[in-house]
Structure 1
Amino acid sequence: MAPQRFHEQFDQIQRSMPDVPLAMGPDDSAEFFYEKGVVLARDGEEARVVEDSVREHFTAFTGLTADHVRRASPETNRSGITRIQVGDPGHGDRRGDRAVAGALRAVRTAEARAGRRLVSRNHVVSIAVNACPGDEPVPAPLTQPPNPAAAEGAYDAGTAVGVLVIDTGLMADYRSYPLLAHTEGDLQIKECDDSGILQQYVGHGTFIAGLVAAVAPNTGITVRNTLNDAGAILESEFGDKLFEAVEQGGWPDILSLSAGTSNGRTDGLLGLDAFMQELRTQRTLLVAAAGNNASATPFWPAAYADLPEYADSVLSIGALRGDGEYGACFSNHGSWVKAYAPGERLTSSLTGFDAPVPYVYQHSTYDACRYGFAYLCTCQSPRHTGLLSEERAAAVTGKPDQVMFEGFANWSGTSFATPVVAGMVAGHMTAHKETDPRAARAQLLAANTEFAEVRGAHVPALRPPTWRPVPVVPLTAPA
């Protein structure tokens, strides 16, 4: 049985949210996850309009009462979002929620009158996605230097560019990696399971921080563990968590975010509306991952970069394959992706260097690229058998592979192309004494003369000087 990564990740994220029944959407396919039985609306009058529209549409509906509308006070809900129950969350299965679909249809007339969207599914926002990085980490020997390698330059607290990483948190011994000596923030809440095995996604935030520090040594990096549990959070909670993160230490120069979701729309996430509007009034540049679905469907919040009002405040990043000449097989793409950077088989610090730690692979590799590419991509290599894949198989066909991490790892995904670019913007600010990160973004893109080919399009390619291409192995046709 071939691996089913989307379904495998659904199982894992559902286990991390045992009290939140989830479904896959949209209801005729599987592109994102969302909360069953619930829709989102803005607080106040719009929430009332949604309730009334749903009640009118569901003529036989008896479960919706005022008690189902849970409103948070402005002091605790900066996002101004109300969750409205429109059905039984326990009804149906993972393949979709008819009550939620019906509620979305019920509000269409009211939305046409209002001239804007009034209702949304409550999507799961997760580490940049499918619903995971492009692959799982692979141990790298301590003799293998980081890639990108550490750039020349020194840390100076007085001039350091502030970079905030919203992710999974830091490993407890992260300071044993010299490049992270000046990094601050939250620790990963739980690194290992009860058997001492690293949990999936652990080290994701540390790996990202290491990439920023390597590309731009003069950075003050702060990592928040907002996405600690299976790298996932509900849209209704994410906006508040972003406000909390930026206000904890002040709005940073650069916000590096390697998470998001598609939603089948071209106007963003309702749950992030308040945060994104506030971002526009700040000087912060959001550098966001384009996602790992190999799709042209807009992935939020990265796709805000394609909306005119956010063009200078958001930079969306796709991933290049190991040689940096073409797009990685997993990378999302399209006009809403504004630049690409190396994102396949990068090397950074996954764990600290104090002691080796075991990890059991969760996903089995595929026999061929699941996206149809003709090179030896991360779908296929290096080969391993994964625990979640075996759990979903009709019969156990192999024992999950276990490896040991003792510092460095190779890892792939738009998750990691993103901090490379965040570091390049920060490095440009330091080199040119530019204090405006949005101006630095514009200058960096204007000065760039490098391009790559992604799905037949020539796109801006941002390759840091210390990055070393990784040879790509083409697949030979059978004789």
Structure 2
Amino acid sequence: MAPQRFHEQFDHIQRSMPDVPLAMGPDDDAHLLYEKGVVLARSGEEARAVEDAVRAHFTETRGLLPDHVRRDGPERGRGGVTRIRVGDPAGGEDTVPHALSALRAAEDRHGRRLVSRNHVVHIAVNACPGDEPVPIARSGSPNPAAAGTAHDPRTAVRVLVVDTGLVSDHRAYPLLAHTSGDTQATETDDGGVLRQYVGHGTFIAGILAAVAPNTDITVRGSLNDAGAVLECEFGSKLFEAVEQDGWPDVISLSAGSPAAGLHGLLGLEAFMRELRAHRTLLVAAAGNNGSDVPFWPAAYAAMPEYADSVLSVGALRSDGEGPACFSNHGRWVRVYAPGERLTSALTGFADPVPYLYQHSTYDDCRFGFDYSCTCRYPRHTGVLSEDRESTGSKPDQVMFDGLAQWSGTSFATPVAAGLVAALMTADRERDPRRAGRRLLARATDRTDVRGVRMPALRPPTWRPVPVQAPALPA
């Protein structure tokens, strides 16, 4: 069986943040990444109180010098949080768990959470997409296919995609002719090979435009760097994205971080409060960890104060008959939409570009499912796989010249966001949150997710891809 993608991707993300020491855990199964030696607190009096409490604890019990514990600012920022250094990562020991434990008594006295890890927020993934893209011939067609409505700039629904930037030739793809936003800074490496995650935001925009052609889509490249950003920066990046062109009708966000409990992320508190004050609907991916651990910000949908402003989306498998193996699940996931083997634009239609697979496929489904899922098919060997050198196998290379097939809750999310936008156009509805409620109320289809019947959104232009039974051993 191929090595765990989580560990492969940890190294990839660490290389993209060379000055940030990262840690995994506390449980690998939670697929949690965070900054070593640093905790987050709300800026202001709470940050100072946390610093004093941690300093006293570590000075008395662990012999750390006082200057190891300090606020690393900014004290005031749009994200509303302050980084507090609780130890020296160069010392090799991760002091974050000790700091969190030391503050439990203080939190009990205050009656609220005061501190958290500085999580790595990443593309809604198992720290990588549900699978990697597969080339589709130029003669192929998108799936979901383009709906029949035309684009009308006077009535178009405004949708913001916060993701990686657009590929430079995206306008060559007809459905993205009127899409705007940030372009990907660097698309290929020195050898001309497509970088990992390039095309992720373009693929999402293509799905949105197919499901809801009467949309003005803006893509912001807030996650251009390996699809990952520290939690302390994420809130500010979201503020920057929405304020460049004003708050949109719908935000399609295929990124987040797992975190146990129903508290949310400290680094998102300020943004989520601001979201509630607007009419914008946040449609967020549930994540691809095959887990019920809440994935934020999607899990805000389970909190009563955010139930009207957040729609969390899990992924259906390619035949639409059940959840995809990788899809997160739980009471905090509101709806499921097709998310396995969708077809959209990865590049424009200019020049073909090579891509080396990063991850090897598995001999068996890594989540224990028994259908022919994207864990196993199509077979390929990746650059990051630990067993590649020992087996002497070379990474597989493919060529992309336009369309691709890709899987993940990353892509179920724009399906749901597009259906909200399409309903707004069909009903002449100007309130996206009312449209979201109406969409769920009209969703008569259901799918069984671990014994629970859940709403399923299957766009009329989406074509199921038959799931083949797994081959029996010879």
TM-score by length of 2: 0.97
Give, in angstroms, the shift of residue 69 of structure 1: 1.0
Give, in angstroms, the shift of residue 133 of structure 1: 1.0
2:272 is aligned with 1:272: no
SS at match of 1:378: coil
Q: Aligned ranges for residues 162-181 of structure 1 at < 5 Å?
A: 162-181=158-177
Question: Could you tell me which residue of structure 2 aligns to residue 6 of structure 1?
Answer: 6
| Kept after mapping to 2: 8 A contact 1:64/1:86 | no
Give, in angstroms, the shift of residue 375 of structure 1: 0.7
Match of 2:308 among 291, 308, 312: 312
Give, in angstroms, the shift of residue 396 of structure 1: 4.3
Question: Could you tell me which residue of structure 2 aligns to residue 416 of structure 1?
Answer: 411
Distance 1:396 1:274 in 2: 49
| Kept after mapping to 2: 8 A contact 1:24/1:30 | no
2:216 is aligned with 1:220: yes
2:470 is aligned with 1:475: yes
Distance 1:206 1:70 in 2: 35
Question: Could you tell me which residue of structure 1 aligns to residue 394 of structure 2?
Answer: 399
Q: Aligned ranges for residues 315-464 of structure 1 at < 5 Å?
A: 315-390=311-386, 395-464=390-459
Distance 2:65 2:465 in 1: 57
Question: Could you tell me which residue of structure 1 aligns to residue 277 of structure 2?
Answer: 281
| Kept after mapping to 1: 8 A contact 2:30/2:293 | no
SS at match of 2:218: strand
Q: Aligned ranges for residues 162-311 of structure 1 at < 5 Å?
A: 162-311=158-307
Question: Could you tell me which residue of structure 2 aligns to residue 124 of structure 1?
Answer: 120
After TM superposition, the structure 1 stretch with the greater mean CA deviation from structure 2, 371-380 or 25-34, is: 25-34
One-letter amino acid matched to 2:54 = V
Q: Cα gap change, 1:63/1:150 in structure 2, threshold over 3 Å: closer, same or farther? A: farther
| Kept after mapping to 2: 8 A contact 1:26/1:264 | no
1:193-225, CA deviations, whole angstroms, 9 ceiling, x for partnerless residues?
000000001000000000000000000000000
Question: Could you tell me which residue of structure 1 aligns to residue 83 of structure 2?
Answer: 83
Structure 2 spans left out of the alignment, 5+ residues:
none
1:386-425, CA deviations, whole angstroms, 9 ceiling, x for partnerless residues?
00004x6562430000000000000000000000000000
Question: Could you tell me which residue of structure 2 aligns to residue 49 of structure 1?
Answer: 49
Give, in angstroms, the shift of residue 328 of structure 1: 0.2
SS at match of 1:388: coil
| Kept after mapping to 2: 8 A contact 1:64/1:85 | no
Root-mean-square deviation (Å)? 1.5
Distance 2:73 2:223 in 1: 24
Question: Could you tell me which residue of structure 1 aligns to residue 74 of structure 2?
Answer: 72
Q: Cα gap change, 1:404/1:64 in structure 2, threshold over 3 Å: closer, same or farther? A: farther
SS at match of 1:112: helix
One-letter amino acid matched to 1:68 = R
Q: How many residues align?
A: 472
Distance 2:314 2:119 in 1: 22
| Kept after mapping to 1: 8 A contact 2:40/2:116 | yes
Q: Cα gap change, 1:425/1:299 in structure 2, threshold over 3 Å: closer, same or farther? A: same
Question: Could you tell me which residue of structure 2 aligns to residue 113 of structure 1?
Answer: 109
1:6-27, CA deviations, whole angstroms, 9 ceiling, x for partnerless residues?
0000000000000001000126
TM-score by length of 1: 0.96
One-letter amino acid matched to 2:25 = G
2:150 is aligned with 1:148: no
| Kept after mapping to 2: 8 A contact 1:63/1:86 | no
| Kept after mapping to 1: 8 A contact 2:292/2:330 | yes
One-letter amino acid matched to 2:287 = G
| Kept after mapping to 1: 8 A contact 2:284/2:297 | yes
One-letter amino acid matched to 2:467 = V
1:323-347, CA deviations, whole angstroms, 9 ceiling, x for partnerless residues?
1110000000011000000000000
Distance 2:447 2:213 in 1: 26
Distance 2:222 2:195 in 1: 16
Q: Cα gap change, 1:66/1:247 in structure 2, threshold over 3 Å: closer, same or farther? A: farther
One-letter amino acid matched to 2:19 = D
After TM superposition, the structure 1 stretch with the greater mean CA deviation from structure 2, 424-433 or 2-11, is: 2-11
Query: Among the aligned pairs, what percent are the same residue?
Result: 69
Distance 1:166 1:26 in 2: 28
Structure 1 spans left out of the alignment, 5+ residues:
none
Distance 2:56 2:355 in 1: 52
1:47-75, CA deviations, whole angstroms, 9 ceiling, x for partnerless residues?
1111121122221343443983122254x
Question: Could you tell me which residue of structure 2 aligns to residue 37 of structure 1?
Answer: 37
Match of 1:137 among 104, 118, 133: 133
